[in-house]
Structure 1
């Protein structure tokens, strides 16, 4: 008697689409990934797998483990390391490029890239590897920010290996597969402008416009120079929106070099990032940032500085300094409008309302700065404050909110003034909406450190649990309140640098 039929083998043959890799040899070098010994799965995203069209059960396929660890090529893939330049910590660094990343191709409108897959011609003195520690941080953060509604690159999967990698200490290797509509950076444009490769600069700009900013072709002269100023303005607006979301969430990127800035306004390259614990506007999350260039409160200004660097990169195409200035002139207004919208939502205020007696368009701005000063004065936990404010609005119990302050008289006075100006704000559905705006679960540094330590011991269930909580950060998740509590005392000693 014949035994039960075996299930068909799991295969995936991506339908690669034309994309960045087809621009030509000036944009990068073909490189094969360097194999890793004894690879093993660490984590994956079912949502991203569905976007790419991966078959059900794909993570059970040995050939896909080999492909996403750099030990084999996906059918039809021609890996490419792209070249770019950039400013690092405000200083021109010259040529950089994908020193440890390889673009496999584009599938369903998404670029697929291995990060940590070995040396490339742009590795300089690096080894081309990523370590498990930093790869887990990026894997979780990209999913967490997506769930919070923040534009970001995504992560398909993470593969580990016992291969040793030297950083401050010897760590184990990992390869992250990340995806995005485009991984083009400000630094790509800076590179070709600095080298006076203006034909390639124009080719790159036209590629980005046609693929991602087609509205730039709708002006009176869509084939002329105006489209490049329109591109600069569109990138500026997207970047302003992104920075407003970061500031409202208390997200610190940590290393906003121009080569870490996405042309699509995505959160790109998760290195020494952090969500704020206690609210400190001057917080520096990167211990390599000795001058505080990328301190939390400076992020919007640094983003604008980087946009000026992008404008210089596009200037050979725009060829009009006034047009470039006009393209960037609206950044601050765009940022402040978006930030105000974010903060009104956090406060439970309607997004659009006609001025009425005791309620003008400026009242929220007048109240916000004193509130931020109160929070900074005692370094009140940023996320817990906003969540407890939401809960107090929904339940009418304000004592848990007051308990966050050593001297509650200040918050009492602020709440009294707030309620006088907005007497009906916490009635009906408004408070419920606040609970869908102010997350309960964020990827705190200490949570990441805990799952990293467990993963390094071969325990991946805690990582999966945290991943599931971060996928629905506004839900209560009964039984998991410990993940939303105050950071332990030892969390203050966590040191995050650019090393990965």
Structure 2
């Protein structure tokens, strides 16, 4: 299929499209159509995301929509574009970046729809504008897994593949992910216009974000008359709450550059991510991160560093440095409070209060230190502890530890703490807080290897489990088991 076929009649799937981002002005984007791919095929589809978009699920079986979401045919009402932004990467100013392989189709039902892997854009730099099957399956599954966990995230409608060759370290095949979010605006969008002294455009962007997503900032009592300081505080608090969710569930993002940080506090840009297997606070999941900048336990501080960069970018609008610093301060209180609240829920402490806080914190820290010392599987520990409360049998938890005496001491303290909490209530909270299923790297790798052979059943199975990760799903226990020995050798890098 050639570029000439872009003149095909646009497909109408009954969605009402607009593109408010396109109204910001030509400084913000370049209009362009996706590049086509030959002989596309479905790899994975999310009916729940389709429902959120208002898309009739029957369309997910249609060959017409397959062509649209590959970039082979336009969709009626869309205004495809690639946006420009800049950012800090691995702590260094990287200059102009932008949507190097993503094209925004527009928004429908208040949600933006993007094709990732849809070809070259003016912002592709040295890249080819494509995505490969391997990384596209990972992003599709993890987007929906995070949704299932209740963690703020972009969504994925589908992933489509093509046998078109794409060169990375080796020759792979192409794929396109259809991503969905209220907005894909990043910290880097603000950094771009601030760095280039384009303060008029910076104000247009900030006003757009405030009016569309943070209208309360215009009526802030704390920052009366300064909605931009209020915006910085609101973004800081959303980011703090998001990172607390990551840390509680054991999620490593892997590449927390400022251009990968959502202005809405969403998890976006799933690259070298990983859910922890063994609990290692210093774990680095990105093979490209040689200095360990984005290690698991560094994520809270890195998020704050990125917010500081956003504050610098907004300073021309905020005006006073003291106001910007004051707006960032809330991160330091919101993050620890949100993290502690989530960890207490993992322990089933439904009566946690100021009077128990000191002892509860000490118990939590001792448990985490023991998990780290013994490299205990993070997800399995918390799930077994949940069942231990449900049936009062602690043996399956004890079996996770080599140092049984240390484990018994912690479990005894924990049991004593729960004496005045109804076991059923604590267990119910824990089973709704501690997932049975997460997207471990080895599960993703197995699905990828099968998909390379055109077997997409593993993608479908994982999607089903990850959409409801707190359910037991009888018959699928192997997907919640310990990772095999070879899983430790999986290396995930920024290459995709």
TM-score bracket, normalised by the shorter chain, equals: over 0.9
Distance in 1 (alpha carbons) for counterparts of 2:221 and 2:235:
20
CA contact (8 A) 2:68 2:74 kept: yes
**Paired position in structure 2 for 1:363:** 359
Indicate whether 1:389 and 2:389 are aligned: no
- Trace 1:326-341 onto structure 2 (pairs within 5 A): 326-341=326-341
Residues 415, 222 of structure 1: alpha-carbon distance in 2 compared, 3 angstrom cutoff: closer
CA contact (8 A) 1:99 1:126 kept: yes
**Paired position in structure 2 for 1:90:** 91
**Paired position in structure 2 for 1:21:** 22
Distance in 1 (alpha carbons) for counterparts of 2:195 and 2:325:
20
Distance in 1 (alpha carbons) for counterparts of 2:17 and 2:300:
37
- Trace 1:187-226 onto structure 2 (pairs within 5 A): 187-219=188-220, 224=225, 226=226
Indicate whether 1:284 and 2:314 are aligned: no
Higher mean Cα deviation, 73-82 or 244-253?
A: 73-82
Where 1:362 maps in the other structure, the secondary structure is helix
Indicate whether 1:176 and 2:177 are aligned: yes
Distance in 2 (alpha carbons) for counterparts of 1:220 and 1:96:
36
Distance in 2 (alpha carbons) for counterparts of 1:455 and 1:71:
22
Where 2:255 maps in the other structure, the secondary structure is coil
**Paired position in structure 2 for 1:5:** none
CA contact (8 A) 2:344 2:352 kept: no
Q: Runs of 4+ in structure 1 displaced over 6 angstroms?
A: none
Indicate whether 1:445 and 2:441 are aligned: yes
Residues 194, 447 of structure 1: alpha-carbon distance in 2 compared, 3 angstrom cutoff: same
Distance in 2 (alpha carbons) for counterparts of 1:56 and 1:344:
39
Distance in 1 (alpha carbons) for counterparts of 2:296 and 2:62:
43
Where 1:145 maps in the other structure, the secondary structure is helix
Alpha-carbon distance, 1:11 to partner: 4.9
Where 1:74 maps in the other structure, the secondary structure is coil
Where 2:210 maps in the other structure, the secondary structure is helix
CA contact (8 A) 2:389 2:424 kept: no
Where 2:17 maps in the other structure, the secondary structure is coil
Distance in 1 (alpha carbons) for counterparts of 2:418 and 2:52:
43
**Paired position in structure 2 for 1:37:** 38
Alpha-carbon distance, 1:55 to partner: 2.0
Distance in 2 (alpha carbons) for counterparts of 1:252 and 1:351:
30
Distance in 2 (alpha carbons) for counterparts of 1:168 and 1:252:
23
- Trace 1:121-200 onto structure 2 (pairs within 5 A): 121-200=122-201
**Paired position in structure 1 for 2:415:** 419
Residues 460, 308 of structure 1: alpha-carbon distance in 2 compared, 3 angstrom cutoff: same
Indicate whether 1:464 and 2:465 are aligned: no
Higher mean Cα deviation, 378-387 or 62-71?
A: 62-71
Where 2:424 maps in the other structure, the secondary structure is coil
* Per-residue Cα deviation, 1:225-274 (whole angstroms, up to 9, x for no partner): x1000000000000000000000000000000000000000001000000
Residues 274, 322 of structure 1: alpha-carbon distance in 2 compared, 3 angstrom cutoff: same
**Paired position in structure 1 for 2:5:** none
Alpha-carbon distance, 1:318 to partner: 0.3
Alpha-carbon distance, 1:54 to partner: 1.4
**Paired position in structure 2 for 1:244:** 244
CA contact (8 A) 1:341 1:351 kept: no
Distance in 2 (alpha carbons) for counterparts of 1:366 and 1:335:
18
Distance in 2 (alpha carbons) for counterparts of 1:319 and 1:11:
47
Alpha-carbon distance, 1:148 to partner: 0.3
CA contact (8 A) 1:103 1:113 kept: yes
Distance in 2 (alpha carbons) for counterparts of 1:113 and 1:141:
16
Distance in 2 (alpha carbons) for counterparts of 1:153 and 1:29:
23
Q: Give the CA RMSD over aligned residues.
A: 1.4
Distance in 2 (alpha carbons) for counterparts of 1:428 and 1:259:
44
Distance in 2 (alpha carbons) for counterparts of 1:294 and 1:70:
34
**Paired position in structure 2 for 1:401:** 397
Distance in 1 (alpha carbons) for counterparts of 2:448 and 2:438:
16
**Structure 2: which 5+ residue stretches go unaligned?**
1-10
**Paired position in structure 2 for 1:478:** 474
**Paired position in structure 1 for 2:105:** 104
Distance in 2 (alpha carbons) for counterparts of 1:261 and 1:340:
23
Alpha-carbon distance, 1:352 to partner: 5.0
* Per-residue Cα deviation, 1:76-101 (whole angstroms, up to 9, x for no partner): 21210000000000000000000000
CA contact (8 A) 2:194 2:202 kept: yes
Indicate whether 1:320 and 2:320 are aligned: yes
CA contact (8 A) 1:83 1:98 kept: yes
Where 1:361 maps in the other structure, the secondary structure is helix
CA contact (8 A) 1:17 1:108 kept: no
Distance in 1 (alpha carbons) for counterparts of 2:372 and 2:57:
48
**Paired position in structure 2 for 1:376:** 372
Distance in 2 (alpha carbons) for counterparts of 1:274 and 1:368:
23
Alpha-carbon distance, 1:409 to partner: 0.8
